[in-house]
Amino acid sequence: MVASVNAFATDLGVTRPEGVFDPGWVIWLPFEPFQVATLVATVGGPAPSPGLALLEGSASITEVDITTPEGRAAILDGEWILELGNDELTIVDGEFTDESIAELAALAIDHGETEFAGRIRLANPERVLEVPATAVTSNQAGALCVWVPDGAGYVARKVTLGGGRVARVEIVSGLTPGDQVLANPTEILDSPVCP
């Protein structure tokens, strides 16, 4: 047995093998820094059975995935807040801070959970103007307009859209808070086409 240990040690580059197996020769640490909680094998002691751990680490979080309710990976640019019940964790460009990972690890240990349901929101939300999608008209060149009150009638005002959701669109430019728009110009006006 001593000859086998010495041969193994020599293959690994140990300069003066002494016939004593060192668990440090074969330990695989899954991440850095790895915090040892329990040492199962000791230098010079009997080796554990094949497949058993030489040492064990404490519970820790090494990777966090945020998915949408549909199971897709969430793409987070900028600073976001993850709300888990009464707890809030900061995420910057999709990455948790060391502090947030420590807080999440504490939650996981306290609740014995590996998955949490929560809500994600922008840390500094942008204010946008939204109008009904039916309020926006266009012309053949693709210019977009909304119709605003002008005396007894309405006048077209060019707008730029920034996105939207079902039945609503975000106005990036062309309107200011408090402006009124005609919600259904195609039903009210004879030919509401942007100039």
What mean pLDDT comes out for the span 150-172?
89
Digit-coded pLDDT (tens) for 80-113: 888 877 888 888 887 777 777 777 777 777 777 7
> Do the domain assignments include residue 194?
no
Asked whether residue 169 falls in the same domain as residue 150, the answer is yes
Q: What letter represents residue 36's amino acid?
A: V
Digit-coded pLDDT (tens) for 14-68: 888 888 888 777 766 666 666 777 777 777 777 777 777 777 776 666 666 777 7
Q: From CA 45, how far away is CA 24, in angstroms rounded?
A: 13
Asked whether residue 52 falls in the same domain as residue 68, the answer is no
Task: Specify the pLDDT at position 182.
Answer: 92
> Do the domain assignments include residue 94?
yes
- Above pLDDT 90, what percent of the chain? 15
For 44-63, letters b (16+ CB in 10 Å) and e give eeeeeeeeeebbebeebbee
**Does pLDDT of 148 surpass 90?**
yes
What mean pLDDT comes out for the span 181-192?
89
Asked whether residue 153 falls in the same domain as residue 184, the answer is yes
Query: Does residue 34 or residue 13 have the better pLDDT?
Result: 13
Q: How many domains does the chain have?
A: 3
Q: From CA 58, how far away is CA 30, in angstroms rounded?
A: 12
Query: How many residues does the structure list for the chain?
Result: 195
Closest among 151, 162, 144, 156 to 182, alpha carbons compared: 156
**Residues paired with residue 150 on neighbouring β-strands, in sequence order:** 153
Task: At 16, give phi and psi (nearest 5°).
Answer: -130, 80
> Do the domain assignments include residue 193?
no
Task: Specify the pLDDT at position 123.
Answer: 85
Residues contacting residue 9 through CB under 8 Å, at least 6 positions apart: 17, 22, 25
Q: How many CB atoms lie within 10 A of CB 24?
A: 10
Q: In the listed set 125, 142, 171, which residue is the last one of a domain according to the structure?
A: 125
Model confidence at 158, pLDDT cuts 50, 70, 90, reads very high
Query: Does residue 4 or residue 43 have the better pLDDT?
Result: 4
> Do the domain assignments include residue 172?
yes
> Do the domain assignments include residue 180?
yes
Q: What's the domain range around 76?
A: 61-125
Asked whether residue 70 falls in the same domain as residue 119, the answer is yes
Instruction: Share the mean pLDDT of the chain.
Output: 81
- Above pLDDT 70, what percent of the chain? 89
